[in-house]
Amino acid sequence: MNAHGNDSSTRHVFDTAIALTGEDGTALQGQTHPDYGNMVGPFGGVIAATLMNAVMRHPQRLGDPVSQTVHFAAPIADGGFSVQARIMRTNRTTQHWQVELLQQGEVAAFATFVTAVRRETWSALDAAFPEVPPPVSIEPAAPIARAAWTARYEMRFVDGAPLVAHAHTDSSQTRLWIRDTPGRPLDFLSLAAMCDAFYPRIFVRRPKWVPIGTVALTTYFHADAGQLAALGSAPLLGVARALRFGNGFFDQSAEMWSEQGELLATSHQVVYFKE
């Protein structure tokens, strides 16, 4: 049985890709999945979700994810790996974690997490929900053959589609409706992966293939588990942009919204590129 109570034979491919086996408190075992392959190695979003899975399944976890920072320290090879999670500190309502992914005895990726018991407080929203057409009015984009993971998401681009031939733009912004394919109820694991499901901004700003790789990815979660569960498998509106390209690196920031205008998560990453 998986976390959603489904038999493994009917388990969603995403849950198969992030699955970990073994006893908590020891090294867990995982395996890359071809459906979430990238141009080189696995899709970074599914690695982020796999590292989170080590925390989410741990019997001593306190509360829901508030933040996650993943460092991609080395290329992750297709095949098996081990994951080790440890609690660094537990406070009254917050908990701090460190998680490492190892291949051949060396760290290939590592992450820090904060989980917390959320309490009802005053709230406000400074960010504005974008005015965009509804998802049903936009045709889904075709996946990119050299990046298998793109077939695992339904993407409906409002603007900023990547690698548009002869495009000349001064903006790296993309707005799109996105959800898992096939549909899957939203949770922290799938949201963590979707926050990395934006094509690198350099492919929008200057549409040509260059070698790239995310170095570090931080995601902040603004919704609780109940809010995510209530959304089911409905599409989310994603907005991504960069601020600066140069000297072999660029930044990339993103927002994830529900159709109802709830800001669910924000993310920030730094990406290496080579010419």
**pLDDT of the residue at 206:** 87
Q: For every residue of 15-80, which 3-state class applies, written as one string?
A: HHHCCCECCCCCCEEEECCHHHECCCCECHHHHHHHHHHHHHCCCCCCCEEEEEEEEECCCCCCCE
**pLDDT of the residue at 9:** 61
Nearest Cα residue to 37 out of 23, 48, 47: 47
Do residues 62 and 99 lie in contact, with contact meaning Cβ atoms separated by under 8 Å?
Answer: no
**Which residues of the chain are under the pLDDT cut of 70?**
1-9, 165-168
**pLDDT of the residue at 165:** 58
Query: Would strands 236-241 and 28-31 be described as parallel, antiparallel, or unpaired?
Result: unpaired
Using CA atoms, how far apart are residues 132 and 241, in angstroms rounded to an integer? 16
Q: What is the CA radius of gyration of the chain?
A: 18
**pLDDT of the residue at 8:** 54
**pLDDT of the residue at 4:** 42
pTM over 0.85: yes
Using CA atoms, how far apart are residues 36 and 50, in angstroms rounded to an integer? 12
The three-point CA angle 3-5-6 to 5° equals 105
CA 227 to chain CA centroid, Å, is: 18
Q: Is residue 67 exposed (0-12), middle (13-18) or buried (19+ Cβ within 10 Å)?
A: middle
**pLDDT of the residue at 31:** 98
Using CA atoms, how far apart are residues 47 and 239, in angstroms rounded to an integer? 21
Per-residue tokens: 170:
């001064």
**pLDDT of the residue at 6:** 43
Do residues 264 and 191 lie in contact, with contact meaning Cβ atoms separated by under 8 Å?
Answer: yes
Do residues 68 and 116 lie in contact, with contact meaning Cβ atoms separated by under 8 Å?
Answer: no
Using CA atoms, how far apart are residues 137 and 147, in angstroms rounded to an integer? 26
Per-residue tokens: 208:
């040509």
